[in-house]
Amino acid sequence: MPYTTDSKGYYRLVEDYPKAVRILAEGDSWFAYPRRFIYFGAPSNVVQILAERNYYVIYSTASIGDEVASMMTGEQKFSFTKRLGTSEFDIILFSGGGNDIVGRYDFDLFLRPRQSAELWQDCIDIERLANKLDLIESVYVELMERVDYYSANPGVKVVSHNYDFCVPSPEGYELFDLFPIGESWIYPFLMEKQFTDRAEQQAVIRFMLARFGERLARVEQKYPGKLFVANTQGTLADNQWRNEIHPSPAGFRKISTVIHRAIQQALAI
């Protein structure tokens, strides 16, 4: 498959597929989630599935658990910027912001106990959520400005996505889908905060991630023809999640189809 996680491998792929679309993928677990049996089994993230298309060559630097701010600061910022300036990419594929909203030690910050208000909407700390969304939006602007200034290819396009409305579940990460080695946190925290109604649990998630999607759409409008946000929200059915924040292989395949269309749209401009 034409994707790699190191620079030497990328240059070899470019030689092997000289006419392929060159993609730098930076992001979180939606670009880096492992297969069911680590090295075997169905592709289990967006990069693995997109790489099945031989006309894409992908250099992936994605890492599980990455938050969007960390990608544009410190060592990750320097590494990303260096790659931009030393290799000509056609597409920058970016996945960031999900962990900042529904991640551990973030999601709980935005929610008050259910019994504190008559309506579930009033239990969301709008100010705290807005502060985090402001940070995420500013990082996406930083990403766009950095790509515009440092990219060796002045015509490079950025393609991102807005995740989907994850389904709160007690299921955490399981090795081989058999041995639990990771815990969920969205569902336990909702239960702890007395959000026991499933419809309300999902409504909270939809509210927060929809606000996130609106912020990405706003950045997209600021950079027309340069940033393309694949609208992946509302793509998956409840049974297409492997755990509460990661799609199943079939779910990732559906998400990847939407992102593929956004890449093709970007390349056509």
Share of the chain above pLDDT 70, in %: 94
Closest by CA position to 51, among listed 80, 82, 17:
17
| 124-164 per-position pLDDT tens digit | 999 999 999 999 999 999 999 999 999 999 999 999 999 99
83-87, 114-118, 145-149, 168-172: which has the minimum mean pLDDT? 168-172
What are the residues whose beta carbons fall under 8 Å from the beta carbon of 251, sequence distance 6 or more?
235, 236, 240, 241, 242
∠210-156-223 over CA atoms, to 5°? 45
The arrangement of secondary structure in 3-98+125-167+212-268, i.e. its CATH architecture, is: 3-Layer(aba) Sandwich (3.40)
More confident residue, 1 or 159: 159
Distance CA 108, CA 205 (A): 12
DSSP-assigned states of every residue in 137-176: HHHHHHHHHHHHHH-SSTT-EEEEE--------S---EET
